[in-house]
Structure 1
Amino acid sequence: MTEDVRRVFRMDNEVLAFRFTATVSDRTSRTPRERLTDAARLKMWLGATGLDVTDVSPTDLIDAVELREAIYRIGSAIAAGEQPESKDVRTLNTIAAAGHAKAALEHERAGWHLTQTTPVSDALGVLATDAIRILGGPDRGRIKNCEGPGCAGLFLDTSRGANRRWCSMNTCGNKVKKSRITAS
């Protein structure tokens, strides 16, 4: 790929499933920014996360966007103390069950082995499984939406006082702090 992954995507979220939801930015603005604009971009993002696939079809892209939005809606519902939509939960569970990836330790690093027949479904299954682990795990009460202007990205608040407000201090946190400085 000629494009630098870090210029195209935000890769700073520690939760893989939430990093995937960040392939849309400025969610609360009038013009959210879609970063998975084509199958090649999805392939790039998957490769950057260690889920290398050889080919991505337009149908794979549609499935990925459906999963991403289900994860986002479930996470946002949990952050707001609401019940997630059953349709989104079904989507998440169905995609997780369809994956056949196997965890592997290679060169002292954890990774995934995807099947040759359905590598994109396997990769999406890994993302769905990661989402289930976070959304239904013991830290689900620490899931939050970013308070940064226009962002609303999901993150897991691991701060001691559970008072973190931004998905990333380097992006949203700095924007807020800079705006306070220029306003004073």
Structure 2
Amino acid sequence: MAEEIRRVFRMDNEVLAFRFTATVSDRASLAPRERLTDPARLETWLRATGLEVAEASPADLKKAVGLREAIYRIGSAIAAGEQPDSKAVRILNTVAAAGHAKPALEHGLAGWHLTKSTAADDALGVLAADAIHILGGPDRNHIKNCEGPGCAGLFLDTSRGANRRWCSMNTCGNKVKKMRFAEP
């Protein structure tokens, strides 16, 4: 299962909300790739992040994609020094308010307890709350879009010189270095 998750999803972003936005890859290319293609894929991604839901419906998937795109639009606006779109902010706040997940410490690790009746809304609420914390918190000035070819993924630049350019050195950074090495 872990291998399948790594093959299907990018899980290398340290910010949960930005990891969620990476469920679309190659955003800046001519052919972005949707990774949340059905409710089962949403369930798999949520399980991999510790937000296990018993079952996600097509409506849950639609809500999740709407939330993901709202987070991405707000993050990209902040990275560009622009004011976030008010509709995206409304979506983010609405989803955050609908969740009823409770933080829990289990086996020495932080996790979440989701309600049985609204588990998908709770899981999406956790993602929205994480986004609000990053997008509106003290680190908001460190939000960047990846400069990797076709990527444009969001990441939090915590490097000493605030000069990080890629969402991940292992993926986008390596692609750029390989392209430079291959140049004549």
Kindly indicate whether residue 10 of structure 2 is the aligned counterpart of residue 10 of structure 1. yes
Query: How far apart, in 2, do the equivalents of 1:31 and 1:58 lie?
Result: 23
RMSD over equivalenced CA pairs, Å = 1.0
2:112 is equivalent to residue 108 of structure 1: no
Unpaired runs of 5+ residues, structure 1, are none
- Looking at structure 2, the residues matched to 128 and 52 of structure 1 have their Cα atoms a distance apart, in angstroms, of 16
Number of residues of Structure 1 aligned to a counterpart in Structure 2: 184
Q: Does 1:24 align with 2:38?
A: no
Unaligned runs of 5+ in 2: none
Structure-2 residue corresponding to 1:126: 126
| Alignment correspondent of 2:35 | 35
Taking structure 2 as the reference length, what is the TM-score of the superposition? 0.98
TM-score normalised to the size of structure 1?
Answer: 0.98
Distance 1:96 1:87 in 2: 14
- Relative distance call for 1:40 and 1:176 in structure 2 (3 A) is same
The aligned counterpart of 2:57 is: 57
Deviation at 1:3, TM superposition (A): 7.2
2-structure distance, mates of 1:176, 1:33: 20
Counterpart in 2 of 1:176? Answer: 176
Pairs within 5 Å for 1:132-151: 132-151=132-151
Q: d(CA) in 2 for partners of 1:89 and 1:106? A: 32
CA–CA distance in structure 1, aligned partners of residues 91 and 27 of structure 2: 21
Q: Secondary structure at the match of 1:46?
A: helix
The secondary structure found in structure 1 opposite 2:181 is helix
| CA deviation after TM superposition for structure 1 residue 73, in Å | 0.2
Runs (4+) of structure 1 exceeding 2 A deviation are none
